[in-house]
Amino acid sequence: MPPSAPEALERDADVEIDAAAVRCVGAWTVGSIATLEGRLSRLAWPSDRELVIDASGVVAMDTAGAWLLRRTMQALEREGRTVRVEGLRSEHRALADLLATPAVAAAVAGQPATPGWLARLGRAAVQTVTQSLEMLSFVGEASLVALRSIARPARIRWRPILYNVRTAGFDALPISGLLCFLMGIVIAYQGATQLRRYGANIFVADLVGLAMLRELSPLLTAIIVAGRSGSAYAAQIGTMKVTEEVDALRTVGIAPIELLVLPKIAALAIALPLLTVYADVLGVAGGMVMAKTELDVGYEDFLDRLQYALRLSDFLVGIGKAPVFAAIIALVGCFQGFQVVGDAESVGHRTTVSVVQSIFLVIVADAAFSVVFNAIGI
Amino acid sequence: MLSASSAPVVASADTVIEVCDVRTRFGTAVVHDGVSLGVRRGEIFALAGASGCGKSTLLREIILLQRPESGSIRVFGKDVIGLSDEEALPLRRHWGVMFERGALFGALTVAENVGLPLREHTRLGDRFIDEIAAVKIALTGLPPSAGARHPAELSGGMRKRAALARAIALDPSLLFLDEPTAGLDPLSASGFDDLVRHLKDLLGLTILMITHDLDLLWRVADRVAFMVDGRIAGVGTMQELAGSELPLIREYFHGPRGRGAREQAWKRR
């Protein structure tokens, strides 16, 4: 124990009460008052209206100990007694006096109460509504800036667009390809048991082709990109907000949306459809491999059947959804990035929210597409 | 007394921090080339010097965040180099550190930040801890409403005070301040000078601070060590250092800003 901590050798803080007097003894320091603090409320104080506490046995005192003494005195005074402390060493007396000042009393009394559940519920509801409105205004602002930038194509920033196409698109090729390949295998495998029962082995091509091209490739690719790139957008813009880089952009006369948001939307709108095509190919390939091993449908037969099973519209329906998903992912990611206030904690929170929200919205949009396509019969 | 850079520090019971011949290198860059100094109990000791001269690194080595290459560092008479976390805990409970940018936990309110060391290291009741946190917040001159706010909602000066409140949460006997007034306006900074003095007298602290704020050096520091290129160029009171013949120290203290700070300090004293 360091020599500066002589209290370690002293006994813990205590209050001794007997017929003659009330005595405070021991080290009234932060490490030695825990036991006393726990049982202070149960102490049997003498019933005298005037109480004299003999503190000459206090060997050490810090602010925590002084506060314990002060607070005990307050509790006794609230019961209508007058309390006097005697024998305190001068340096401890100074500390005790300091804690008796109105400023300290105000600070302790001024601790705000934690809000009740109704207040929290109301706050959460208001927050959700304002969030939605802000998202709407963000989309509006981004659209305006986009229109302005299309009107003056010289201002379009090609370099960040190309950079984002590479990081969000090209760099995602291995993971999205592998995932869709596996998905093709899974679908073919699940279908195989059913189809074999009816001797309809060849229809595995219909199953895999339609499922992958219309639904699964665009959806899976969008989900991967939301996790890979949407979160990165939120984190990047969020960090730039914390370090005031976003404000710095404004002061040098660059609209943050033009530099940080538009290239990302444009890049994703290019990259996601391309990724989807690539995912289509690998998904079908996965199905083909499984069809050969499980159902004895050869590659040639499979591809032959695929031509009959798929119309051009099936392919276009899948690809057509991708730009919409891209816009959702980029907008949500960037919006959540701009929502960051203050510190690192907020960046983490907003990044998580961006991924959850964009995946949710992508699936909602996909469902809406299904309804619409069904209604118009494609 | 102006000691030469590598003169051995006389160990005594009243020396709280003893740094002896510390050498540090980052790659090929030499940060400390034999640093020795001693901080006595109850004094405010300042480590001054130009940016990048190795002040902060030395502080990090004393508070066990970094290891020097060679040399010894003793705090409270205990050798701190190579201590395990478990062995270091009693030491860490007896010192408080205020970081340059506050390093308050963003997820917690100011009151929770101050209460955290107490909750972690004592068995005191929750209400009592909240009250002590409020007392500490009041002692550093923050308004009561500051306790419920998150660090991100505070101004720079308030954040420094909140960081100081957390540093003194466990009533340490030794306090480390890293650039306590950096980034503050002159009025807040001079308020901070007074606060440091006041707390030191009140709580019986020993303070080691890093600063290049000349006002703080003149008004608050009892002794100052001046660091140049990884060596201690001189140790003494500001009076003694100001009379030094070393060109680098002269330049530092007798530049236009140095003179102004000195005159101000004289007027106030």
How far apart are the CA of A14 and the nearest CA of chain B, in angstroms?
A: 14
Widest CA span of chain B, in angstroms?
Answer: 57
Interface test with A, best of B95, B104, B145, B171 (most A CBs within 10 A): B171
Distance CA A60, CA A175 (A): 65
Quick check: is A123 in a domain?
no
Classify A111 as helix, strand or coil: coil
Domain of residue A52, residue span? 6-109
Residue-level pLDDT at A322: 95
Nearest of B153, B101, B111 to residue B136 by alpha carbon? B111
Contacts of A5 in chain B (CB under 8 A): 76, 90, 94, 173
* Same domain membership, residue A294 and residue A167: yes
Whether B139 and A67 lie within 8 Å, measured CB to CB: no
Are A40 and A143 found together in one domain? no
C-alpha torsion angle, residues A249, A254, A256, A260 (rounded to 10)? -100
Of residues A231 and A98, which shows the higher confidence score? A231
Q: Examine the domain organization and report whether A138 and A62 are in the same domain.
A: no
Domain-embedded: residue A122 = no
> Closest Cα of chain A to B53: distance in Å?
26
CB contact under 8 Å between B123 and A34, yes or no, is yes
Mark whether A213 and A145 lie in a shared domain: yes
A96 and A164 both lie in a single domain: no
Q: State whether A69 and A136 are in the same domain.
A: no
The pLDDT value recorded for residue B259 is 65
Which backbone phi and psi does B79 adopt, to 5 degrees?
-70, 120
Per-residue model confidence (pLDDT) at position B4: 40
Q: In this predicted structure, what is the pLDDT of residue B53? A: 79
pLDDT tens-digit readout, B172-224: 889 999 888 877 777 777 888 888 888 888 888 899 999 888 888 888 888 88
Considering CB atoms only, which of B75, B148, B150 is closest to A112?
B148
Output the pLDDT for position B13.
60
Q: Indicate whether A119 belongs to any domain.
A: no
A4, A110, A345: residue with CB nearest B76: A4
Question: Across residues A80-103, what is the average pLDDT?
Answer: 82
Residue (of B253, B266, B186, B188) closest to B46 by Cα position: B253
Asked whether residue A117 is domain-assigned, the answer is no
Identify the pLDDT of residue A9.
Answer: 57
Q: Chain B closest CA to A329's CA: distance in Å?
A: 27
CATH number at residue A83: 3.30.750.24
Across the interface, of A34, A344, A345, the residue whose CB is closest to B122 is A34
Judgement on whether residues A17 and A75 belong to the same structural domain of the protein = yes
B118 and A30 within 8 Å at the Cβ level: the answer is yes
Which pLDDT score is estimated for B12?
A: 54
Q: What is the mean pLDDT of residues A96-102?
A: 82
Task: Name the pLDDT band for A351 (thresholds 50, 70, 90).
Answer: very high
Q: Looking at the predicted structure, is the pLDDT value of residue A6 above 50?
A: no
CA distance B92 to chain A (A): 11
Contact A67 B138 (CB under 8 A): no
Q: Are A209 and A88 contained in the same domain?
A: no
The C-alpha of B201 sits at a distance from chain A's nearest C-alpha, in angstroms, of 10
A204 & A352 share domain? yes
pLDDT at residue A52, rounded to an integer? 84
- In A, which residues are within 8 Å of B148 by CB distance? 111-112
For residues A28 and A68, the answer to whether their CB atoms sit within 8 Å is yes
- Which site among B62, B123, B128 would you substitute to test the A interface, given the most A Cβ atoms closer than 10 Å to its Cβ? B128
Interface of A with B (CB under 8 A): 1-5, 29-31, 33-35, 37-38, 62-64, 67-68, 71, 91, 94-95, 98-99, 103-104, 106-112, 341-346
| Domains identified in chain A, total number | 2
In a domain, A33, yes or no: yes
Of A44-48, A262-266, B108-112, minimum mean pLDDT range: A44-48
pLDDT digits (tens, 9 = 90+) for A127-165: 999 999 999 999 999 999 899 888 888 878 889 999 999
Residue of B nearest to A95 (CA): B202
Write down the pLDDT at residue A112: 66
Q: Which residues in chain B come in under a pLDDT of 70?
A: 1-13, 256-269
A4 pLDDT higher than 70: no
A164 and A99 both lie in a single domain: no
Q: Is A315 inside any structural domain?
A: yes
Q: Which residues in chain B touch residue A342, judged by CB atoms under 8 angstroms apart?
A: 106, 150-153
Contact A280, A315 (CB under 8 A): yes
Asked whether B80 and B44 are in contact (CB, 8 A), the reply is no
Residue A159 within a domain: yes
Asked whether residue A120 is assigned to any structural domain, the reply reads: no
Same domain as A212, residue A356: yes
Mean pLDDT estimate for chain A? 88
> Percent of chain A having pLDDT more than 70?
97
Contacts of A132 (CB under 8 A, 6+ apart): none
Inter-chain contact B125–A38, Cβ cutoff 8 Å? yes
User: Are A342 and B124 within 8 A, CB to CB?
Assistant: no
pLDDT at residue A188 is higher than 90: yes
Instruction: Kindly state whether residues A272 and A366 are assigned to the same domain.
Output: yes
